[in-house]
């Protein structure tokens, strides 16, 4: 049954369908006000509850039970061999104990979720927002410009810029990693995560996502466990929804509050893979990603060198007019140090000034720009 008193604060979303999905706090308030997804979706103006329930779960990890509030539905729950737990749309207990139908329903939800972009919603009175893209910080390694990392985080926080973390935030090297013997780090993964939790938490709620990288993949591969340091960091921050995989799409929806204009920018995130000592290697790899994935801007770390370029293309719009779409390729720097005698120096890697790359996205009007500082 809907608790109308709890809906007063979010009355603006009544009958507005998916508008509430841009506001997680309002979505949680709606979840607290109703027992079932059918009630919530009816209040929002959906013709059925499946679409709303799926998007709420996929975008914000907020689960609305699928059953209606009728007496018949309550009797169905009571008869079920896999009763639905309070506040959950899934049965209790191990998945292997669920009915085949319930397990298959979860499987469908999970596979559908893998085919969706990460959504970031921002409302600002500024004409543009700054997004600071951190990559390969390798916190825990002895060969890191850690004070520079802290300075960058402090500036991002002070400027109220948005931050993203693009893999290998903690070192997490294993014996199976390239150069793993020297890159075990002065601190354990757990202690390194303590540092990151302490320093990254002040950025909330201005964090777009936290991605895994090849060092997280090494932990899973060599330790034979599903433990992922990037996901663990998100859990520690109380924002598991920030986690994204090694690569994927992120859609930035930026609303300019004075004008009411919303611009959407599609980013393709990839941590990076393989090696590449040539000057043009990062941009060549980004171009390959752009060939197979349509987006407005592309970011990649891993190679520890920053560079940027435009890769525009022509297309025809819905009216048949030939247009030019501007696209940005952005390779991200690292906070890993090249020290004489260490793995990076012996492998012949190029030195790179440590830091973070900023990308500005227009709010008042559509625009993208990035800058390389030296």
250 and 342 assigned to the same domain = yes
Whether 96 and 127 map to the same domain: the answer is no
- Same-domain check for residues 162 and 268: yes
Q: Please say whether the beta carbons of 328 and 361 come within 8 A.
A: no
Same domain, 107 and 254: no
Last residue of a domain, one of 113, 129, 153: 113
The contacts of residue 271 (CB under 8 Å, 6+ apart) are 135, 166, 167, 168, 211, 212, 213, 214, 246, 247, 300, 301, 302
User: Structural domain tally of the chain?
Assistant: 2
| Stated length of the chain | 374
Question: Residues 103, 123: one domain?
Answer: no
> Residue by residue, what is the 3-state secondary structure of 81-119?
CCCECCCCCCECCCHHHCCHHHHHHHHHHHHHHCCCCEE
**Cα–Cα–Cα angle for 71, 73, 77, rounded to 5 degrees:** 115
Range of the domain at 294: 118-371
Q: Which pLDDT score is estimated for 109?
A: 74
Predicted pLDDT of residue 176: 53
| Contact yes or no for 34/11 (Cβ under 8 A) | no
pTM score: 0.71
* 315's tokens: 């297309």
For 189-196, the CB contacts below 8 A with 24+ separation are 189/140, 189/219, 189/229, 191/140, 192/139, 192/140, 192/229, 193/229, 193/232, 193/233, 193/236, 195/139, 195/140, 196/139, 196/169, 196/170, 196/233
How many Cα atoms occupy the beta-carbon half-sphere of 21 within 13 Å?
A: 22
Residues 68 and 201 in one domain: no
Cα-to-chain-centroid distance, residue 243: 5
Q: pLDDT means per 10 residues in the chain (374 residues)? A: 82 88 89 82 79 76 60 42 46 80 82 78 94 92 90 94 94 58 65 92 94 78 68 89 90 94 95 81 92 95 90 92 95 88 74 90 95 74
Same domain, 281 and 311: yes
Residue 5 CA, chain-centre distance (Å), reads 34
Last residue of a domain, one of 87, 113, 139: 113
Does one domain contain both 109 and 138? no
What was the pLDDT predicted at 48?
A: 65
Q: Which residue has the tokens 């669920």?
A: 98
Cα gap 168→179, rounded to integer Å: 15
Calculated CA dihedral for residues 287, 291, 293, 294, nearest 10 degrees: 100
């Amino acid at each position: 049954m809907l608790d109308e008193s709890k809906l007063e604060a979010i009355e603006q979303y009544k009958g507005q369908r998916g508008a509430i999905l841009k506001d997680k706090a309002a979505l949680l308030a709606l979840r607290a006000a109703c027992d079932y997804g059918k009630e919530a979706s009816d209040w929002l103006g959906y013709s059925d509850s499946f679409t709303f329930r799926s998007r709420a779960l996929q975008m914000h990890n907020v689960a609305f039970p699928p059953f209606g509030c009728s007496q018949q539905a309550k009797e169905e729950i009571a008869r079920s061999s896999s009763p639905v737990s309070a506040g959950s749309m899934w049965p209790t207990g191990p998945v292997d104990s669920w009915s085949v139908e319930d397990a298959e329903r979860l499987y469908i939800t999970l596979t559908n979720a893998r085919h969706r972009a990460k959504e970031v919603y921002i409302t600002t009175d500024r004409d543009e927002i700054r997004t600071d893209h951190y990559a390969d910080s390798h916190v825990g390694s002895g060969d890191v410009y850690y004070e520079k990392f802290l300075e960058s985080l402090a500036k991002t926080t002070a400027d109220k810029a948005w931050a993203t973390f693009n893999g290998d935030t903690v070192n997490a090297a294993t014996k199976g990693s390239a150069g793993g013997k020297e890159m075990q780090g002065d601190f354990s993964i757990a202690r390194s995560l303590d540092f990151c939790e302490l320093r990254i938490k002040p950025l909330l709620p201005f964090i777009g996502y936290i991605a895994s990288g090849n060092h997280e993949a090494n932990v899973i591969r060599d330790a034979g466990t599903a433990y992922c340091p990037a996901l663990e960091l998100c859990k520690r921050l109380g924002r598991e929804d920030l986690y994204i995989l090694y690569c994927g799409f992120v859609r930035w929806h930026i609303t300019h509050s004075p004008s009411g204009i919303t611009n959407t920018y599609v980013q393709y995130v990839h941590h990076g893979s393989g090696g590449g000592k040539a000057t043009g290697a990062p941009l060549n790899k980004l171009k390959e990603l752009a060939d197979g994935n349509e987006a407005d801007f592309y970011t990649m770390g891993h190679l520890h060198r920053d560079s940027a370029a435009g890769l525009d293309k022509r297309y025809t719009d819905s009216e048949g007019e030939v247009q030019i779409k501007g696209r940005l390729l952005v390779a991200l720097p690292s906070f890993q140090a090249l020290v004489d005698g260490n793995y990076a120096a012996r492998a012949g890697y190029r030195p790179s000034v440590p830091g973070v790359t900023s990308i500005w996205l227009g709010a008042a009007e559509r625009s993208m720009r990035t800058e390389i500082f030296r």
